[in-house]
């Protein structure tokens, strides 16, 4: 088990991470989400042992990890960390790059490299020099490289950011299935909703260096504690209760996803359409409600400035 205990850290006197604590088991997939600059990469670097922490500690199977001040080469042996800039050697081949993480004494080395290239869908590139690959291809080789010596813990920073949607879904399914089959704990810092919602066992949400929410994807999505949390999953409407229910003057607000607001001829709640955005299966409608922007889904495009009535989650 990985235990992160009350970790705080600042590059300068300004704190970047404040009292972060969580636990994760072998085979888990944990997604870390949060706005840019909130401290996701910093947390991965601390866990891996690249940054020294004055306060708090990281444990693996109850053994405290000593951090960079105690090792000549920072980074724990049983972990692999994939930074956003890939860390590949451009002038040698794909085979040689991945091979760097596998012992030369391993008689099965070439087969292992081929197996990993299959996982990341890059079998045709064994002999290609890395400098001749596209950004997305380099990223896939970098993933294969960190998997090469079967780490117990894998730390990935935005692992699919350069990969097109067409390939990303297939690749993600392959990789997360592979990690589960090998019981590898994987912690991913991501901006991608699908990385977190569809695959993670647990999502950690960081805001300005503080762990503000932590739960399963289902619970976080259906019961987000704040607009900040919900906004990672979808457009989110924060609406005053008093605006949709005339019987209350409460200053409380509710959070609603666009699919919780529907057009209804019988409703009293009038909105004015600002824009319709085609989303494939539906249109996302931007509209003004009591002077505030709201978003809802509709099957058809609506005219700009058109007045329509909407029904909110059976509350009106
Ligand atoms: N080497 C460094 N020296 C000083 N400050 C740094 C350093 N690296 C990161 N920071 C600062 O620490 C904060 C957290 O950065 P970090 O890279 O952890 O954020 P992040 O959540 O991973 O962001 P992103 O999603 O954009 O990758 C930011 O304010 C950043 O400017």
Q: 3-class secondary structure for 59-105? A: EECCEECCCHHHCCCCCCCCEEEECCCCCCCCCCEHHHHHHCCCCCC
ipTM value for the complex: 0.97
Residue position matching structure tokens 């605006």: 243
* 305 CA to centre of ligand 1 in angstroms: 42
CA-nearest residue, atom 4 of ligand 1: 11
The atom number, within ligand 1, closest to the CA of 158 reads 27
Cβ–Cβ < 8 Å for 193, 220 = no
Q: Reply yes or no on whether the pLDDT at 102 is more than 90.
A: yes
Q: What is the pLDDT of residue 316?
A: 43
Separation of alpha carbons 16 and 22, rounded Å: 17
Q: Compute CA 70 distance to the chain's CA centroid, rounded to the nearest angstrom.
A: 31
Q: Ligand 1: which of 8, 9, 11 to mutate, most ligand atoms within 8 Å of CB? A: 11
Segment 118-149, tens digit of pLDDT: 999 999 999 999 999 999 999 999 999 999 98
Crossing angle between the packed helical segments 165-181 and 135-147, to the nearest 10 degrees: 0
According to DSSP, the residues that pair with 9 across neighbouring strands are 17
Name the DSSP class of 121. Answer: T
Asked whether the predicted pLDDT for residue 291 surpasses 80, the reply is yes
Query: If you average pLDDT over every residue of the chain, what do you get?
Result: 93
Cβ contact 160:149 at 8 Å:
no
**Is residue 242 pLDDT above 60, yes or no?**
yes
Model pLDDT, residue 315: 46
pLDDT: which is higher, 267 or 156: 156
Instruction: Please tell me the distance between residue 14's alpha carbon and the centre of ligand 1 in angstroms.
Output: 12
- Inter-residue contact 69 to 122 (CB < 8 Å): no
CATH architecture of 237-312: Beta Barrel (2.40)
For ligand 1, residues with CB inside 6 Å are 11, 16, 34, 36-42, 189
Q: Where are the domains of the chain?
A: 2-230, 237-312
CA distance linking residue 61 with residue 265, whole number of Å: 60
Q: Output the pLDDT for position 68.
A: 87
Distance of CA 214 to the CA centre of its chain: 13
- pLDDT number for residue 314: 55
Q: What is the pLDDT of residue 282?
A: 96
Q: Kindly state the average pLDDT of the residues 292-299.
A: 95
Nearest CA to ligand 1 atom 6: 11
- What topology is assigned to 2-230 in CATH? Rossmann fold (3.40.50)
Nearest to 203 by CA among 184, 230, 178: 230
pLDDT at 95 over 80: yes
List, for residues 45-84, the tens digit of each pLDDT value. 999 999 999 899 999 999 999 888 887 788 888 999 999 8
Encoding tokens for residue 5?
């205990």
- Residue-wise pLDDT for 135-189, tens only, equals 999 999 999 999 998 999 999 999 999 999 888 999 999 999 999 999 999 999 9
- How many angstroms separate the Cα of 248 from the Cα of each of 240, 241, 294? 10, 7, 21
For 129, the 3-state DSSP assignment is strand
């Amino acid at each position: 088990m990985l235990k992160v205990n009350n970790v705080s850290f600042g590059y300068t006197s300004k704190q970047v991470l404040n009292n972060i604590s969580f636990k994760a088991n072998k085979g888990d997939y944990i997604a870390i989400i949060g706005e840019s600059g909130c401290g996701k990469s910093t947390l991965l670097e601390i866990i891996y042992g690249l940054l020294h922490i004055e306060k708090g500690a990281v444990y693996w199977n109850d053994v405290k990890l000593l951090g960079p001040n105690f090792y000549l080469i920072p980074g724990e042996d049983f972990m692999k960390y994939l930074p956003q800039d890939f860390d590949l050697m451009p002038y040698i081949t794909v085979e040689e790059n991945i091979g760097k993480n596998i012992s030369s004494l391993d008689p099965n080395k070439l087969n292992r490299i081929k197996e990993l290239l299959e996982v990341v869908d890059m079998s045709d590139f064994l002999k290609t020099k890395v400098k001749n690959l596209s950004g997305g291809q380099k990223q896939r080789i970098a993933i294969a490289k960190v998997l090469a010596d079967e780490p117990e813990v894998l730390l990935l920073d935005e692992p699919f950011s350069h990969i097109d949607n067409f390939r990303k879904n297939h690749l993600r399914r392959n990789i997360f299935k592979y990690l589960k089959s090998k019981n590898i704990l994987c912690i991913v810092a991501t901006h991608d909703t699908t990385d977190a919602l569809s695959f993670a066992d647990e999502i950690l949400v960081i805001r300005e260096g503080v762990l503000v929410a932590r739960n399963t994807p289902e619970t976080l999505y259906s019961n987000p504690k704040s607009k900040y949390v919900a906004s990672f999953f979808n457009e989110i409407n924060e609406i005053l209760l008093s605006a949709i229910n005339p019987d209350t003057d409460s200053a409380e607000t509710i959070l609603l996803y666009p699919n919780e607001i529907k057009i209804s001829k019988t409703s009293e709640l009038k909105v004015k359409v600002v824009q319709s955005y085609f989303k494939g299966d539906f249109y996302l409608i931007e509209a003004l409600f009591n002077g505030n922007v709201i978003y809802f889904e509709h099957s058809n495009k609506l005219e700009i400035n058109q007045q329509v009535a909407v029904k909110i989650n059976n509350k009106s």
